[in-house]
Chains A and B, each alone.
Chain A
Amino acid sequence: MNHNFKRVALVALTMTAALLITAGQSTANAQTAAPTAAPTNATSADPLGGATKFAVADKSTDLNLMLDYTPNTNHLGIYAAAALGYYTDAKLNVTIQQPGDVAVEQIVGTGKAEFGVSYQDQATFALQSGQPIVSLAAIVQHDTSAFATLHDKHPVKIPADLAGLRYGSFGSPIEKPTLDLLTQCPAVGAAANAAPIQYIDVGSAEPFPLMEKDRIDVTWLFYAWDGIRAKQQGLKIDFVFLKDYQQCVPDYYTPLLITNADMIKNHPDVVRAFTQATARGYTYAIQHPDEAAALLLKAVPDLDAALVKESSQWLAAQFQADAPRWGEQKASVWQGYADWLFKHGALDHALDTSSVFSNAFLPGTGAK
C-alpha cells in the first residue's frame, strides 16, 4: 500500500515535472517564434514619420468609410483606429461600410461615402472614366499578390514555369498583360516563344478545389489572405510573387485609402484628421499585430480567427515596409503603372497621375 502510494506519487511528480518542462518549452518556443514570423524587410523608420501630434477635424463629423471587400487583415489599421478611439480623438464618427456588388470608386467618387479602400489598378480605371477620386495613402507599401499553383501538380519556381498552364480568370483587364509579361520576363531567362497561358473564366469560384480537380492550374491571390488560408488548410502551394519581377510588371499599390476631390477642396481638415487617425491605427497594427488581430476579430467575430492571426503577423512588416513612413506614395509608382497599362492596351488613353494621389495629409502635416 505504502509502496504503491510512493509509486503513484512518483509518477504524479514526474508527470507534473514533465508538464512544467513542456509548458516552459512551448512558452520559450512561442517567444522565439514571434521574431521568426516577422518578415525581414521591416524598417526601424517611425510609421508616423516622427509625428506626435495629429490633426483634428474643425467640428465633429459623421462619415462613411467603404471597404473594398469583406473585412480582412488589410483593414487591421482601420478597425484598430475605430476600436482605440483614434477617430474619436480626431472628432470623427466613422461608420465602416462593407461593400457588396458595387464599385467603391463609384460610391466615393459620387460622395455617398467620404472615404474608401481601393486598389491602384481599379483607381486608375476609375480615373480614366472620370471619377474624381484621390488616393491618400498606400495601405500596403508593395504589392503582395502572387500566382499560385499546387506544388504536387505544377511546381513553379520562376514565372516561366507558368507558361502553358490554365489560369482561372476572375475577369479583370489587368490579368492578361500581367501574366503575359510575367511569363515572358526576359530578366529571369524566359524564352520569348513560351507556350501561351490559357484563360478559363471561373468568376468568383473558390480556386483551390478547381485546382485539385484539374480544372485549372494556376490562380492569382493575395498572399496575406488566400495564400495563408490555403497553407492553413493543408495545401502545398508554390508562389510566384509579382513584386519579385518588377522589371517586367511594375509595382503598384494594393490596397489604397481614397477620398474624392470635393472632400479635399471643401473639407481638407476632415481628410487630414481621417488620414492621420488611420495612420495611427496602422502604426498599432505594425507594432502590435496580435492585439490588432484581436480588435478585428472582436469587431467581426465571424472571421476565421487562425487566419486573421497569422495574416496579421505577416502583414505587420508589409504595411510600411521600406517606406519612410506608413502610407507614403511615390509618383513613379503611380505614373509607371498607368503608363504600363496604357502601353499594353488596358487603358484607352495615356493618363497623367500627378493629381490622383497625395502625401500631403499623412502624419507630420498640418497638426495643430
Chain B
Amino acid sequence: VLNSRLSRLIWPLLTLAGIGLLWLILTNADTSTVRIIPTPGEVWAALLRNSQTLWTLHIPATLIETLIGLALALLLGIGLALLLDWSTIARQALYPILVISQTIPIIALAPVLILIFGFGIEPKVTVVVLFCVFPITVNTLDGLTATAPDAGLLLQSMGASRWQIWRKARLPSALPGLFSGLRIATTYSVTGAIFGEYVSSNAGIGQYMRIAYASAHVDQAFVAIAITALLSIGLVGVVAGIERLVIPWHYAHLRTARWDQSAPELD
C-alpha cells in the first residue's frame, strides 16, 4: 500500500520535473532579442508584479464566470439528458444540434453574443455553458441508458411504477456517468470562460492575456496559462471530492477491484 502511494506521488512529480527540464532547454534555445519563451524566473517575476490586479480583478472575474456557467451547464445538461432519455423524438431532434453546438467557432459567435447580451457577464457565461453542456449531457445519457435491463425488469415485476424504477435503478446507475461528464466539463470550463472573455471583456484571465500579447509580454501570458491550469486542477479536485461523497459505492467498488487485483501479490 505504501509502495502504491509513493508511486502515485513520484510519477506526477517526475513528469512535472521532465516538463520543467524541457522548458529550460527551450528557454536556452530561444536566443532571439524578443523572446517567445520566458524563463521560469521571468514568469514568477511577472506573477509578483501583477499579483494585485490578478487577485482582486482577473481571477475573481474568471472564477465567477466559470462557476455560474458550470452550474447552469450542470442543470441544463442533466435536464437535456433526462429529456433525451425519456423521449425518443427529443433524442432524434436534439442530439444532432447538441453535436453541432460543439463545432461553432467562438469567433463566429462573438458578435452575436454581444448583440444579444451586451457587455456584461452573460456572453462569457454562455460560452462556458456551450463548452460544458455537451460532455455532461452525453455522459449522463450514457449512464441512464446503461442501466442493467434486468434491474428494471425485476423492479417492474415487483410492481414498481415508472418513477420508482427510475429513482431506484436508473438514477443511481446514471450518477457515475454524470460525474465523469462533470469532470470533463470542469476541465473545459475555465478555458471556456477565457474564450468568453475574448469576445469582449474588461476583466478576467482572458483579458489579462490579451493585454500581455498586445505588448508582447510573454511572461505575463505564461502567468495566465499557469493560473488557468491551477484553477482547472482545483475545480476538478473539488468535483472529484464531491463525487466521492455522493457516490461512495462507486469508489468502494473500485477499491475492492484494486484490492482483489493486488491480493494475490500479498500472499
Which A residues have a C-beta under 8 Å from some C-beta of B?
Answer: 64, 66, 69-72, 95-103, 106-107, 110, 112-113, 204, 206, 208-209, 212-213, 225-226, 229-230, 233-235, 300-304, 307
B207 touching A101, Cβ below 8 Å: no
Q: With A97-B200, A106-B111, A110-B115 as known contacts, state yes or no: A302 contacts B32, CB within 8 Å.
A: no
Which B residues have a C-beta under 8 Å from some C-beta of A?
Answer: 30, 32-36, 50, 52-53, 106-107, 110-111, 114-115, 118-119, 197-202, 206-208, 210-218, 220
B52 touching A301, Cβ below 8 Å: yes
- Bound CA span A298–B210, Å: 18
Contact for A302 among B106, B115, B208, CB less than 8 A: B208
B34 touching A71, Cβ below 8 Å: no
Known: A69-B214, A212-B32, A303-B215. 13 other contacts (CB 8 A): A70-B210, A72-B214, A99-B200, A101-B199, A112-B118, A204-B213, A206-B34, A206-B216, A208-B216, A302-B53, A302-B212, A302-B220, A304-B217
CB-based closest 5 A-B pairs: A208-B34, A70-B214, A100-B198, A212-B32, A100-B199
- Bound CA span A273–B59, Å: 36
Q: With A71-B211, A212-B32 as known contacts, state yes or no: A102 contacts B220, CB within 8 Å.
A: no
B111 touching A102, Cβ below 8 Å: yes
B215 touching A235, Cβ below 8 Å: no
- Bound CA span A282–B233, Å: 45
**In the complex, which residues of chain B have a beta carbon less than 8 angstroms from the beta carbon of A230?**
34
Task: Please give me the residue from chain A that is nearest to B220 by CB atom.
Answer: A302
Q: With A208-B33, A302-B212 as known contacts, state yes or no: A98 contacts B52, CB within 8 Å.
A: no
B110 touching A229, Cβ below 8 Å: no
- Bound CA span A69–B198, Å: 11
A98 touching B215, Cβ below 8 Å: no
Contact for A70 among B33, B107, B199, B211, CB less than 8 A: B211
Name 5 A/B residue pairs within 8 A (Cβ), A-sorted.
A100-B200, A107-B115, A209-B36, A235-B34, A301-B50
B228 → chain A closest CB, angstroms: 16
Majority SS of interface residues in chain A?
Answer: loop
Contact for A301 among B53, B114, B197, B212, CB less than 8 A: B53
A355 → chain B closest CB, angstroms: 25
Contact for A100 among B50, B208, B210, CB less than 8 A: B210
B197 touching A233, Cβ below 8 Å: no
Q: With A98-B207, A302-B220 as known contacts, state yes or no: A103 contacts B119, CB within 8 Å.
A: no
Q: With A101-B106, A101-B110 as known contacts, state yes or no: A95 contacts B211, CB within 8 Å.
A: no
B36 touching A206, Cβ below 8 Å: yes
- Bound CA span A98–B210, Å: 10
- Bound CA span A107–B118, Å: 9
- Bound CA span A309–B202, Å: 22
A212 touching B114, Cβ below 8 Å: no
**In the complex, which residues of chain B have a beta carbon less than 8 angstroms from the beta carbon of A213?**
32
**In the complex, which residues of chain B have a beta carbon less than 8 angstroms from the beta carbon of A225?**
215
Q: With A103-B111, A106-B111, A304-B217 as known contacts, state yes or no: A209 contacts B211, CB within 8 Å.
A: no
B216 touching A95, Cβ below 8 Å: no
**In the complex, which residues of chain B have a beta carbon less than 8 angstroms from the beta carbon of A233?**
33-34, 216
A107 → chain B closest CB, angstroms: 6
Contact for B215 among A102, A113, A204, A307, CB less than 8 A: A307
Q: With A70-B214, A229-B215, A230-B34 as known contacts, state yes or no: A102 contacts B199, CB within 8 Å.
A: yes
